[in-house]
Amino acid sequence: MYRFAAAIVVACLSAAAVEAQGSAATAIQRYRAAIAALLQIKPGMVAAEVAATSGVLAPDLSALVGGTGRVVEGTLDRQSGALGLEPASADAVALLGIFALTDRHKDVVDRAAAALRSGGALLVVDVPQENDGKKTVGIEADDVVKLATAAGLKREAESGIVPGHYSIRFRKP
């Protein structure tokens, strides 16, 4: 089951596959565009992405922030939960399929919240928790909400745009 869930994440969010196909009409491109739109990016903003596969949303985010904005690709440190993002440096942060990669869930959410400027949005796209008998992967949406709330964020919206995944947007007051 874990392999199937991981395959869906890669298939749905893989930027490389879309670039190789070059077609804006593909399902993958529609998912990426919809996920990027959930962040409510405007020109001039700074948007950050931390994903299981790097650069998944970068092309879509770049188009939304325009020439006056910036896209930052953070990197998950699996041991500490660090994201490679500076405090108060982003207007929007997207966490894409990373909770299966670390057990430092609280640290990940705390650091993502710290990277947001006041009024900034955090978008979490991940899979519900499951256990294949060897390893537990994913995180329940309710657990993400609890962690984000404890980090001072407010749940703003939810979407099931990517099959088998949840997408939850939080806002930093």
Q: Which of 3-7, 100-104, 167-171 is predicted with the least confidence, judged by mean pLDDT? A: 3-7
Look up the pTM and report it.
0.82
- The CATH number of 2-171, from 3.40.50.1100, 3.40.50.150, 3.40.50.300, 3.30.70.2080, is 3.40.50.150
- Which helix (H) or strand (E) element contains residue 6? helix 2-13
CB 45 within 8 A of CB 92: yes
> What is the CA 71 to chain-centroid distance, rounded?
13
pLDDT bin (cut points 50, 70, 90) of residue 10 is very low
Give 27-70 pLDDT, tens digit per residue: 888 888 889 999 999 999 999 999 988 888 999 999 999 999 99
Name the pairing type of β-strands 116-126 and 130-131: unpaired
User: Alpha-carbon distance 82 to 94, whole Å?
Assistant: 14
Q: Is the pLDDT of residue 109 over 90?
A: yes
Q: Environment class of residue 74 by beta-carbon count within 10 Å: exposed (0-12), middle (13-18) or buried (19+)?
A: buried
Mean pLDDT value of segment 114-131? 92
pLDDT bin (cut points 50, 70, 90) of residue 26 is confident
In this structure, the number of other CB atoms found within 10 A of the CB of residue 91 comes to 23
Instruction: Specify the DSSP class assigned to residue 101.
Output: G
Q: What are the sequence ranges of the domains in the chain?
A: 2-171
